[in-house]
A and B are shown apart, each in its own frame.
Chain A
Amino acid sequence: MIIAKAKPMEEIIDYVKDMKRILVAGCDGCVTVCEAGGMKEAQVLASALRMYFRGQGKDTVVDDTSLTRQCDRPYIEQLQDKINNYDAVLSLACGAGVQFLAEMYRGKRILPAVNTCFIGVTEEKGEWTERCQACGECLLATTGGICPIARCSKRMSNGPCGGSAGGKCEISKDTACGWHLIYERLKELDELERFEQPNEPKNWAASRDGGPRKVIKEVSHA
């Protein structure tokens, strides 16, 4: 899923301090699972903002809601009836949701309330870690199911580098060396021969480097 993290309260306040009517809009998708932007977080943020405005002696209206997903038009259309009641929407969705709202409601200020971080997994309650960088050409079949693009700090194709020590990455003792993990996994799978030959340069055109991407699913008309 897409992992996000709440923006600092001061930053959010700075965006909305002069507004009169604000809608805080959560998203029931990924950001709900990673506890950054679902209904619960929308309510908490709205209530924190109300307290802030009250403390400032302002009668700013702050309402909250949550949409099934902010990355699908039918769901964001549900705001059509009430959006004109507000000066701005604080979206708790990932960057995709914020942008989709902004595209649909062109005259409205749509503001992000979270920082979108990465594609990852729930490690344990309250801890999420990165697994995928959406490079567009998955090579997990050759690396024992562990991604060197997402898990090596230098996204090396032929790792590990000389900075790998005790299974940890040179950048931090808290970061596992992705290539050490790959090596251990390939050993378990008896596929170590994959280490013998150099891997070719990767085609990054399928990644962010190729410009904004699009996927079109061929529809069979048979």
Chain B
Amino acid sequence: MSKTTPSKLQKIMAAGHFGVTSECGPPRGTDGHVVEEKARLIGDYVDAINVTDNQTAVVRMCSLASCIRIKQMGLEPVLQMVTRDRNRIGLQSDILGAASFGIHNLLCLTGDHQSFGDHPNAANVFDLDSTQLVRTATMMRDEGKLLSGFEMKTRPEMFIGAAENPFADPFEIRVMRLAKKVAAGAQFIQTQCIYNMPKFKLWMQGVVDKGLHEKVFIMAGITPMKGLGMAKYMKNKVPGMDVPDDLIARLAGTPKEKQAEEGIKIAIEQIQELKEVQGVRGFHIMAIEWEEKVPEIVKATGLYPRPKVD
């Protein structure tokens, strides 16, 4: 958690409050107002808004342009960057551009393989991986250097994060892999959507045992289920997702018209439970194409109003 930056998200968590972030996926077209509308819905209820970077390898309006729009609304964006589509030249260049607009949060990801997206025949880049992007951004900020060693006159003041999936295999190296990202410079972690609570707690225990919770803010990933269909899809189709059978059964036992409501209820219960887990410092609420539900979840979990920091 070393370096202090102008990031409001960092200040809030450093002050001991739970941080709250949500995300907004840009449109598959040129209408920037879509981003602004989503940001407006959730702006008062979160500390920062992640903007996804061509998620699931589907071409969308770029994350950087969308972040600038959010920034210009007076809200705080988290620039997501994947290493799939740009090499170290493009990535560093975009970090500099983001910093020039006062964007102070960066989430470094490797990205889904392009075979999942709308351009499966595309070449991929993967010059760096997520850990190396974290290291690169940290070096740019703390040493004022590019990967080439070139010394910059000004530095990008980024609060640097990464994702981690506690549910991927092999499970026993997931804490080790987090340690690696922390060693590379990660200051916050947004986790994969949590549905398997016992497994998440086991992972968190490993994180605490290694003392990593004192070095990095862990933000627990929450995605409310819109219904049984979504739950089954997440379980069977989305890489690295762990949806337990009892959750499927709970939604299956709920009348179809009540399932969305039940999904929100589950998300609220999850946050309440996770608040008590040592090392959890915030929540990343990914309400996929359901941004309007974020305020309800934040209010129901006592996370509203959001704290004010200087």
> Chain A residues near B147 (CB, 8 Å)?
201
> Chain A residues near B128 (CB, 8 Å)?
157, 201
Known: A154-B110, A163-B113. A180 touches B131 (CB 8 A): no
| Whole-angstrom distance between the Cβ of A93 and the nearest chain B Cβ | 26
| Whole-angstrom distance between the Cβ of B110 and the nearest chain A Cβ | 5
* Interface size grouping (class) on chain B: 35 or more
Partner of B129, one of A157, A165, A184, A204: A157
The answer to whether A196 and B179 have CB atoms under 8 Å apart is yes
With an 8 A cutoff between CB atoms, is A167 at the interface?
Answer: yes
CA of A201 to CA of B136, assembled, Å: 9
With an 8 A cutoff between CB atoms, is B73 at the interface?
Answer: no
In the complex, which of the residues A153, A154, A180 has the most CB atoms of chain B within 10 Å of its own CB atom? A154
CA of A197 to CA of B239, assembled, Å: 26
With an 8 A cutoff between CB atoms, is B33 at the interface?
Answer: no
CA of A164 to CA of B168, assembled, Å: 6
What 1/0 flags go to B125-136 for Cβ under 8 Å of A?
Answer: 011111110011
CA of A157 to CA of B180, assembled, Å: 12
What 1/0 flags go to A148-161 for Cβ under 8 Å of B?
Answer: 00000111111111
With an 8 A cutoff between CB atoms, is A118 at the interface?
Answer: no
CA of A197 to CA of B192, assembled, Å: 23
The answer to whether B169 and A167 have CB atoms under 8 Å apart is yes
Can you name the residue of chain A whose Cβ is closest to the Cβ of B180?
Answer: A198
Can you name the residue of chain B whose Cβ is closest to the Cβ of A161?
Answer: B110
Partner of B169, one of A153, A171, A180: A180
**Chain A 88-109 interface residues, beta-carbon cutoff 8 Å to B:** none
**Chain A 200-214 interface residues, beta-carbon cutoff 8 Å to B:** 200-201, 204
The answer to whether B183 and A197 have CB atoms under 8 Å apart is yes
With an 8 A cutoff between CB atoms, is A28 at the interface?
Answer: no
Known: A162-B240, A170-B112, A180-B169. A200 touches B179 (CB 8 A): no
Residues of B within 8 A of A (CB): 84, 88, 110-113, 115-116, 124, 126-132, 135-136, 147, 163-165, 168-170, 173, 176-177, 179-181, 183-184, 192, 239-240
Question: Can you report 6 residue pairs joining A to B where beta carbons are below 8 Å apart?
Answer: A158-B132, A160-B173, A161-B240, A165-B168, A177-B169, A204-B127
Given contacts A158-B129, A171-B116, A199-B132, 16 further A-B contacts (CB under 8 A): A154-B124, A154-B129, A156-B126, A158-B130, A160-B168, A161-B130, A161-B240, A164-B168, A164-B169, A164-B170, A180-B170, A192-B176, A195-B173, A195-B176, A198-B181, A199-B131
